A and B are shown apart, each in its own frame.
Chain A
Amino acid sequence: MSVAADQKFTELIDQSRGIIYKVIRLYVRNPEDEKDLFQEILFQAWKSYPRFDGRSKFSTWLYRVGLNTVLTFQRRPDLVRATDNLEPVGGSDHSHERNESVDALYQAIRELNDIDRMIVTLHLDGYENEEISEIAGITKNHVAVKLHRIKETLTRKLKDL
């Protein structure tokens, strides 16, 4: 890559690095894997960047690179992280309830298999079923069926609180 392209890539990554964090936080619990996957996603994105044609947004493209990377990467067994546990929550009962919902959702998403996790998080991030089917490589109907079932499971878990 030329120096200018390299600079442009670094700028774009700087603006969208939250996507890499999100993918890592959703799929990885082992600190060693966090480090490896962060570098791996950057590496994959950097090597593939010359083929980025700008037809989609850079953030969408990076999301795709991140998911393709994390789901083909051999991860180490999960380690329970202190930050995954419920943190003591101060303030009103209402905010306590809100935090519990967030924690419960996080936990419930983490309990899904990798593919279901990807499908539901793309959906919650506002991707249409058609886009999800293109990213995942399965039919639109298949996505809809899966989403229906996953959302039912997640909603039930949130209601159980």
Chain B
Amino acid sequence: MDLQQAWNKLRDERLSKPTSEALNIGTKSKHPIQKLKSAYLTTTLFAVVFLFVFVALLFVFREGLIQAFLWLMIASYTAAVMVNYRMYQRLEPVIPPDQDLKSVLVNTHVLITKNIRMQEYVALFIYPFAGATGFFMGGATASGDIMGMLAKQQVIIALIIMVIVLTPACFYLSRWLYRVSYGKCLNELQERINALDDPA
């Protein structure tokens, strides 16, 4: 039997067998871009919750330095809410069928990668301030005098060490989490792009 005959038989006998699913046009997608879109919504909601927490903390901690850092966090999280919500609105989980496969694969890969990088690097600027704010609040709770506490050299050194350790630790932790969540999907997409480019 030649290849074409075997294919016709295979197609008619094996490949046309119905799957167990009934025709049910859902409105929910499990596509990676949809997951990314949902992740943005979740991030937005978390940022809103944190915003409320920071506003509440303004009433708890009256020290000027802590208030300044809290306002900085509020500004960062307000920006984060806006950026994440904008991304949530922009992401479209429907693959344009009028585009060729390579464009779809490349666009999906670029979209997810750029997005993850952007989030990672923006967060890198927020971690030191978030860490310092927590440090000051802890100090204020323990000693009651934040400026007096900061006059001690050991405290300043501890603060610097905390920022130096915490910032890259959070950066690499978030990078690892992104890799766990999206790494496999991105690798699969890259493999297919490579297979399309492979001349053989």
Contacts and interface: CB of A to CB of B under 8 A. Distances in A.
- Determine which residue in B5, B21, B97, B105 has the highest number of CB atoms from chain A within 10 A of its CB, and name it: B97
Interface in B86-126: 94-105, 108
Contact of A39 (B13, B24, B96, B101): B24
Nearest to B32: A74
A21 B102 contact: no
A121 B11 CA distance: 10
- Determine which residue in A18, A21, A137, A145 has the highest number of CB atoms from chain B within 10 A of its CB, and name it: A137
A34 B20 contact: yes
B62 interface: no
Nearest to A38: B21
Contacts, number: 165
A22 B101 contact: no
Interface stretch (B67-75, B77-85, B168-176, B187-195): B187-195
Nearest to B98: A51
B24 A25 contact: no
Interface in A53-68: 61, 64-65, 67-68
Given A21-B16, A138-B102, A42 B3 contact: no
A5 to B, nearest CB: 12
Size category of the A interface is 35 or more
B26 A74 contact: no
Interface string A121-136: 1001100000000111
Interface in B176-199: 184-185, 188-189, 191-192, 195-197, 199
B105 A142 contact: no
B28 interface: yes
B7 interface: yes
A40 B1 contact: no
B29 interface: yes
B60 interface: no
Given A44-B94, A74-B184, A158-B3, A106 B100 contact: no
Nearest to A39: B26
B89 to A, nearest CB: 16
A64 B97 CA distance: 6
B98 A136 contact: no
B199 A136 contact: no
A48 B101 contact: no
B97 A125 contact: no
Interface string B132-156: 0000000000000000000000000
Contact of B200 (A17, A68, A149): A149
Given A71-B104, A137-B100, 15 more contacts: A17-B23, A25-B15, A35-B20, A40-B29, A48-B96, A51-B97, A72-B95, A72-B189, A74-B185, A75-B188, A109-B10, A114-B195, A121-B7, A149-B200, A154-B3
22 contacts: A10-B25, A34-B20, A39-B21, A39-B26, A40-B30, A42-B23, A45-B97, A47-B94, A68-B95, A68-B101, A72-B104, A72-B189, A75-B188, A113-B191, A135-B101, A137-B196, A138-B197, A145-B200, A155-B2, A155-B3, A158-B1, A158-B2
